[in-house]
Structure 1
């Protein structure tokens, strides 16, 4: 086995991955709904990073302390960029509603059955927070709904 060649392959793979991550800014511009929500979040002082989240295996992640939302570039290839950002944007609205901590919005929308398997493994308060995020992300008007929530709860 030629280890030198393996090093070249790893270098090529790393460069290719780096090129894909650097193109992340273009990924959002190519998705109008995503771009619209990204701009709305930025208007309310949230930062949207198109990069792998610091938690392995996550497609999206919201850090309430830094107001950073990570969106994995892979979601664009999977066709789930819009619902992923909507989900994390709901958490952003929950933070605005709670002040310094995330607080349920009590939207009064029943979570569709198809979403239950995603949040039922959470306990107590976390379950309610995740249920709201999964519920909004699957609504036909989810984009407009989450933008209105940001406008209502965020300064």
Structure 2
């Protein structure tokens, strides 16, 4: 499916305010509520819209530390990548896991309540992950921009 201008208007307004009622979304996009609903349903069916998620403020829940770990894996074992990913997925404090092509193979984002909690997770769980050849930790200081919306 290739979204047209109406679809893009609907998506643009919905991304900026996902709590809009269908009537308000339709009004902002310049269409009727029934057209808006049909268009959104069609985009869901065709995979343009994959779901709606709640963004939880982890700091408000007592998590004060975020660390990004850049990991290079051993290249001698053909199963290293798969075995690492299976093990990393089991760590509850890992909230993001990305793979890359290049010197760094994997990036983990780890959330912890404080530095003591992070050190415990690092020592007991991260360092026990299989096939790590090199690891670099980057302490999150400030979030300057976090925009998941597409420029439609």
The TM-score normalised by the length of structure 1 is: 0.27
TM-score, normalised to structure 2, is 0.27
- Structure showing the higher helix proportion among its residues: 1
More strand by share: 2
